[in-house]
Amino acid sequence: MKERGVPIVCMDARHANAALKMMPAKTDRNDAIGLAQIVRTGWCKSVHVKSTASHEARALLATRSQFVRTRCDLENQIRGVLRTFGILFGKRVGGFAKRAEEIIDGELDASPTIQAVVEALMRARANILEQIRHLEAKVRLIARQNKVVRRLMSVPGVGVITALGFAATIDDPTRFKRSSSAGAYPGLTPRIYASGETMRSGRVSKRGDDFLRR
């Protein structure tokens, strides 16, 4: 629509919500009227609409993050099931899969049901790991083609996930007038309470993009 010359305003959701809360009756009709009034008066704050490439990168990273959480949940489930029967998973040389194979082949012979449960969980974990590897390969490919991401990765401690996530979330750095505004965008600036002679800085506001904050 922008390419066709249609003016587009994407409003800040918190601002619009605050204005619409003043209406005593919430209906779709009243919401539409309220949004129209906000635009007419110019009270709304326009927010940046990210590019397609940024949305694609964020979707890729968010899906990978979900798979990683699922893998952790499966591993915790395996540990919990085994602990119920007095088997402590512990740590062994060779990693999680090696230790699970030892338990399945040795300590679960007396319980075929639990053996089947653990084997099913391990198969699910293996499938999740395969998908994680596939997505991480895609992340590395995108990072190699993005000079901004490569530059960010030159900072000690910044890897491909953090660099791509930062670049995809900021998208267009020129939309920030000051560098300090970039810290406020993911909610990393402190809350301020000021009343009379009282001036107190609190914890970070967390009012912003939680994806980048994580």
pLDDT tens-digit readout, 120-136: 999 999 999 999 999 99
Q: 46 - beta bridge partners?
A: 11
Q: What is the pTM of this model?
A: 0.78
Outline where DSSP puts E strands in the chain: 190-195, 198-204
DSSP 145-177: T-HHHHHHTTSTT--HHHHHHHHHHH--GGG-S
Q: Which of 18-32, 68-82, 95-109, 112-126 has the lowest mean pLDDT?
A: 95-109
To which residue do tokens 């001036």 refer? 199
Mean pLDDT of 183-208: 85
pLDDT at 27 over 70: yes
Gap between the Cα atoms of 104 and 37, Å rounded: 65
pLDDT score of 12: 83
Gap between the Cα atoms of 176 and 58, Å rounded: 20
Tokens of 121: 């969980």
Who has greater pLDDT, 78 or 108? 78
pLDDT at 73 over 90: yes
pLDDT score of 110: 67
How is residue 189 annotated by DSSP? S
Mean pLDDT of 77-85: 88
Residues in the chain: 214
Backbone angles phi, psi at 23, to 5 degrees: -80, 130
pLDDT score of 155: 95
pLDDT score of 88: 82
Share of the chain above pLDDT 90, in %: 36
